Amino acid sequence: MSEDSRIQAVEKQLLQSQKMEAVGRLAGGMAHDMNNVLGSIMAFASVLEMEMDPDDRMTSDVRHILEACKKGRDLMLNLLGFARRGKYSLEWFDLNERSAHVVDLLKHTIPKKIVIETKFDDQPLPVHGDPSQIHHAMMNICINAVDAMDNSGTLTITTDKFIVEETSDVRFPDLEPATYARLRVTDTGVGMSQEVMNQAFEPFFTTKPQGLGSGLGLPMVYGTIKNHGGAVILESTSDEGTVVTILLPYNRTGSNAFPTIPGRKTTSDPALATILLIDDEDMVVKAEKRLIEKMGYKTLVARDGREGLRVFAENKDKISLVMLDMIMPVMDGEETFYKLREIDPEIPILLSSGYSKEDKAEQLLSAGADGFLQKPFEMSELRTRLSALLDMNR
């Protein structure tokens, strides 16, 4: 490569990364506001659904509102997956188990003439990270494969261990030599031209008709897998099909993966628990309060971190859990978290946000926060998280 063309290549890469960063920043700001809007619509619609007679015709209208919100949420999750750098939960999970779960979901939704074939490694494939982000990435890859097949074909999903040697081949130049858990999704669809492949990871690039594709699926996959220290590889031949491969660090710590979780009691009695909500956004607080009270818990509310600390100190004996927003004026989630921990090192703190700057949430999780709930959340999600955390604390 001549000096000139090397300079050109570097400039092109720089421009590209600046563009990605600008889009990322925009996406983050948007996601925060949109997620709050979606969150409050979802919360009030869930309360309505619970209060209405299941046979009432309007109940199905409410379900449609919830469905639409979930579509909006998936879109925001893709945007965030591309934009953000943090992971919102850090746990060991088995890539085989996740893949099997994805296959189960697909079986119910894809056209009957698409055959799914699977071959999973016979040993568990422990991976450390955010299982729901990885799940979402796998779904994006599989849905692309299904879309490429136009109603019939074969979707093959395989997993195995894969070793990247020191002298690794050019397909993954920025991967550390190590063992990886590998997932391959192969389709017999239309395939991609070299030109499409070059752009496939760019946000908003889509070849699908307007309204059918937003061009955020693969950027989400890319952002998420990178963020987990892995890589994504596309291989495709026009008219023959595509193979999408993801590699994720395999049991990198070498420690005992899948530690046993101490036994938890089954149900907690919501009536006995008071939850402190700390969030600055009026519509969010109103919606969350309504939803949580509908589940039977009592609530206390504070509009920023400083007020949160005061309310907590005054009601310490009756508060069983704190739900803490990350981005707030006066005192943000991070500072509030540490101050709460000073007052009470044991109180369960569930972080929740529509977007958390960089890897703030990840830092707080490592510092002992008890979980992160991505806004907007579904009622069932919130219910499960609350009762798990409250049981743990008995």
Ligand X SMILES: Nc1ncnc2c1ncn2[C@@H]1O[C@H](COP(=O)(O)OP(=O)(O)OP(=O)(O)O)[C@@H](O)[C@H]1O
Contact residues toward ligand X (CB under 6 A) are 78, 140, 144-145, 148, 187, 189-192, 196, 200, 205-208, 213-219, 242
Q: 196 touches which of ligand X, Mg ion, none (CB within 5 to 8 A by kind)? A: ligand X
Which among 80-88, 136-144, 197-205, 230-238 is the span making contact with Mg ion, rule CB under 5 A? 136-144
Query: What is the closest distance, in whole angstroms, from the C-beta atom of residue 220 to Mg ion in the complex?
Result: 9
Task: Name which of 217 and 270 has its Cβ closer to Mg ion.
Answer: 217
Query: What is the closest distance, in whole angstroms, from the C-beta atom of residue 231 to Mg ion in the complex?
Result: 19
Crossing angle between the packed helical segments 3-51 and 379-392, to the nearest 10 degrees:
90
At position 249, the amino acid (one-letter code) is: P
Among 24, 217, 219, 223, indicate the residue that binds Mg ion (CB under 5 A). 217
Query: What is the closest distance, in whole angstroms, from the C-beta atom of residue 211 to ligand X in the complex?
Result: 10
Tell me the β-bridge partners of 128: 92
Q: 157 touches which of ligand X, Mg ion, none (CB within 5 to 8 A by kind)? A: none
Query: What is the closest distance, in whole angstroms, from the C-beta atom of residue 81 to ligand X in the complex?
Result: 11
SS3 content of the chain, % helix, strand, coil (to 5): 45, 20, 35
Binding mask 141-160 for Mg ion (x = CB under 5 A): ---x----------------
Ordered alpha helix ranges (H), the chain: 3-51, 57-83, 95-109, 131-149, 194-199, 217-227, 282-294, 305-314, 333-343, 360-366, 379-392
At position 50, the amino acid (one-letter code) is: M
SS3 45: helix
Q: Provide the residue count of the chain.
A: 394
CA distance 154 to 150: 11
CA distance 306 to 289: 19
CB-CB neighbours of 194 under 10 Å: 8
189 lies in the site for Mg ion, by CB under 5 A: no
Task: Name which of 141 and 379 has its Cβ closer to ligand X.
Answer: 141
Sheet holding 241-249, edge to edge: 114-119, 153-164, 178-187, 241-249, 231-237
Measured from each CB, the residue nearest to ligand X is: 217
Task: Name which of 16 and 253 has its Cβ closer to ligand X.
Answer: 16
Query: What is the closest distance, in whole angstroms, from the C-beta atom of residue 241 to ligand X in the complex?
Result: 7
Q: CB–CB of 129/217 below 8 Å?
A: no
Query: What is the closest distance, in whole angstroms, from the C-beta atom of residue 207 to ligand X in the complex?
Result: 3
Q: 148 touches which of Mg ion, ligand X, none (CB within 5 to 8 A by kind)? A: ligand X
Q: 186 touches which of ligand X, Mg ion, none (CB within 5 to 8 A by kind)? A: none
Ordered alpha helix ranges (H), 124-193: 131-149
Task: Name which of 28 and 217 has its Cβ closer to Mg ion.
Answer: 217
Residues that bind Mg ion (CB under 5 A): 144, 217
